[in-house]
Amino acid sequence: MFRIFKKRKEVDVVVQKQRVENFIDVMKLLAYFKSETGIDFSKKEKIINTKLANFCRNRGFYNFESFLNNIKADKFLMQELIDYLTVNETYFYRELHQIEALVQKVKNSHTKVRILCIPSSSGEEPYSIAIALLEANIMKDKFEIIGIDINSEVIGRAKSAIYKSRSLYKLPPHVKEIYFNQKGEFYHLLEGIKKHVTFRVVNLFDDQFLSLGSFDYIFCRNMMIYFDEQTKLKAKSRLELIKKDSQSKIYFGHADN
Ligand SMILES: C[S@@+](CC[C@H](N)C(=O)[O-])C[C@H]1O[C@@H](n2cnc3c(N)ncnc32)[C@H](O)[C@@H]1O
């Protein structure tokens, strides 16, 4: 009886030891995250440390080192971390002047155009483009729009296309009226618009990105703001690779440079 009791105590000590928290050196984890996603949190070390410690604790990791070893081997855990850390703020008709410029270009084009939104976040930007093109009476067979984002959760939301009024505050009332069904506090985008955009979870820095084909127009707005200077250059050279030809254009957000 005494022996069993002693053994149990030893086990308890081991469990307790594993639970001793040591969330101190976050830099290696941040460096790995940056190498995979491009996103640089090094200047927000303190805030991110607390956020990451909570994330790890909730998943049974009590130090950054063991968590890092696990995300290197577990792509689902890495995806959860990406979904947790990325900032996905967006809304319909954001920086509308660029969308209007695109509409003119598509109007003047004699061939079908391919448009990429990277990052699409929860879909407001690519759907804004679809709405603006249809509002300008451009035939639906004249364009193809693809939205991609590294965050799988926002891509799920983009596919369902159900929004709160906060996302629609820039839309003129008649656009809200024509293209959405209001159900309580939610706005459901009509199927007729949803079908003009396809969405995929893709990381700009993964090989998969290059298999999307080439594009006439690329919207790359409000992603570079999370990258350092070196990563911005790398990102821009990857975007260059998927331009269809010398007429192709990339639209950046005003804060991206
Ligand atoms: C602030 S949102 C911008 C959304 C939209 N383009 C806009 O301007 O409203 C930034 C998005 O960039 C995505 N992102 C960050 N790094 C990425 C990467 N390496 N590849 C693809 N998407 C990325 C994030 O998941 C996030 O949804």
pLDDT tens-place string over residues 188-233: 999 999 999 999 999 999 999 999 999 999 999 999 999 999 999 9
**Exposure of 3 by Cβ count < 10 A (0-12 exposed, 13-18 middle, 19+ buried)?**
exposed
Show the ligand 1 pocket: residues with CB < 6 angstroms.
37-39, 86-90, 94, 118-119, 121, 125, 149-151, 154, 203-205, 221-223, 226, 253
Asked whether residue 135 carries a pLDDT value surpassing 50, the answer given is yes
| CA 72 – CA 117 distance, rounded (Å) | 28
Which pLDDT score, from 0 to 100, does residue 18 have? 56
pLDDT digits (tens, 9 = 90+) for 165-188: 999 999 999 999 999 999 999 999
Mean pLDDT (whole number) for 109-119 = 97
**122 & 78 share domain:** no
Q: How confident is the model at residue 1 (pLDDT cuts 50, 70, 90)?
A: very low
Is 91 inside any structural domain? no
Task: State how beta strands 217-220 and 186-189 pair.
Answer: unpaired
Task: State how beta strands 186-189 and 180-183 pair.
Answer: antiparallel
**57 & 122 share domain:** no
Query: Ligand 1: which atom is nearest the Cα of residue 124?
Result: 9
**20 & 44 share domain:** yes
**67 & 28 share domain:** yes
% of the chain exceeding 90 in pLDDT = 88
Domain enclosing residue 7, as ranges: 2-85
Contact predicate 221/125, CB 8 Å: yes
**110 & 201 share domain:** yes
| CA 124 – CA 133 distance, rounded (Å) | 14
